[in-house]
Amino acid sequence: MNKNLLREALIKYVSGILLVGVLLFLPAGTLKWNNGWIFMAVLFIPMLIAGIVMYLKAPDLLRSRLNAREKQAEQKDVIGLSGLMFLVAFIVAGLNYRFNWLSFPSGSVTIGCVVFLLSYRGFAEVLRENAYLSRTIEVQQGQKVVDTGMYGIVRHPMYAVTVFLFFSMMVILDSPFSFAIMILYLPLIVKRIINEEAVLEKELDGYRDYKNKVRYRLIPFIW
């Protein structure tokens, strides 16, 4: 067992819980926010399970995702703006609860949880399908084009799944304003995909043929 990897994973996991908890409950002004706790549960319990599975079955994949450092300047901007977007969205969600601004229709939270968990299952499937999946845009040694499973439907299934993940988060938090903020993710992810494909087309053998085989990047029949 790799104790260093386990320690690093646990530190980042606990740090994530504390950070998200502060961003949500401090603006909410109370710990008695049911939606906040529901969100923490559906986010961090599957994350813990996925982390344990990767640690036991694919430690190299876990290590690559923990130690991700984006090297391209253009992508650093995308990552930075995405982080700022989440920061604002979580704070606004807490404030939305505190001041009772606006809510989704009754039953929306349950739908949000179902969509989130199904999307997380899809994310796990993408990880299983593509052993080269990284949080940064890079071509790894020995990497090959993956064109099976979800990769046979769209070229970037991980990003497709994250769209549903991120929007469902704001439904679980019952914050339409945060949902609106999350719309900013769409142009950011489009920019990231275009840059990523330019890198893959240049550095990954067979990627041009794959683009001709799988026409759509993110959403079938749309883009």
State the CATH number of the domain containing residue 196: 1.20.120.1630
Which residues have C-beta within 8 Å of that of residue 48, sequence separation ≥ 6? Answer: 13
Q: Output 180 or 4, whichever has higher pLDDT.
A: 180
Q: What band does 138 get if pLDDT is binned at 50, 70 and 90?
A: low
Per cent of the chain over pLDDT 90 is: 52
- pLDDT over threshold 70, residue 69: no
- Reported as a pLDDT band with limits 50, 70 and 90, residue 40 is very high
- Where does the pLDDT of residue 132 fall: very low under 50, low under 70, confident under 90, or very high at 90 and above? low
Q: If you average pLDDT over residues 156-174, what whole number do you get?
A: 94
145 domain-assigned:
yes
Is the pLDDT confidence value at 195 over 90? no
* Chain-centre distance for alpha carbon 137: 15
pLDDT (average), residues 198-220: 88
Most confident of the ranges 21-25, 143-147, 182-186? 21-25
Residue-level length of the chain: 223
CA 131, 132, 133, 134 torsion: positive or negative? Answer: positive
Q: For residue 71, name the pLDDT band (cuts at 50, 70, 90).
A: low
Mean pLDDT: which of 39-48, 63-72, 148-157 is highest? 39-48
**Which residue stretches of 29-156 are H helix?**
34-57, 59-66, 73-99, 108-129
Q: Is residue 219 part of a domain?
A: no
- Across all residues in the chain, what is the average pLDDT? 88
Query: Of the spans 40-44, 75-79, 124-128, which averages the highest pLDDT?
Result: 40-44
Residue 32 lies in a domain: yes
Domain count, the chain: 1
Is 33 a domain residue? yes
The answer to whether residue 199 is domain-embedded is: yes
Provide the token pair at 8: 């690093």
In a domain, 60, yes or no: yes
pLDDT for residue 77: 74
Structure token pair of residue 126 = 């993408």
In a domain, 174, yes or no: yes
Contact predicate 118/150, CB 8 Å = no
Q: Which residue has the higher pLDDT, 36 or 73?
A: 36
Phi-psi category of residue 33: left, alpha or beta, with phi > 0 → left and psi -120 to 50 → alpha: beta
- The pLDDT of 110-114, averaged and rounded, is 97
- What does the pLDDT average to over 87-108? 96
Among the residues of 175-214, which ranges form H helices? 176-181, 185-203, 207-213
Mean pLDDT on 36-60: 91
Residue 218 lies in a domain: no
What is the residue range of 181's domain? Answer: 3-213
Range 69-83 average pLDDT: 71
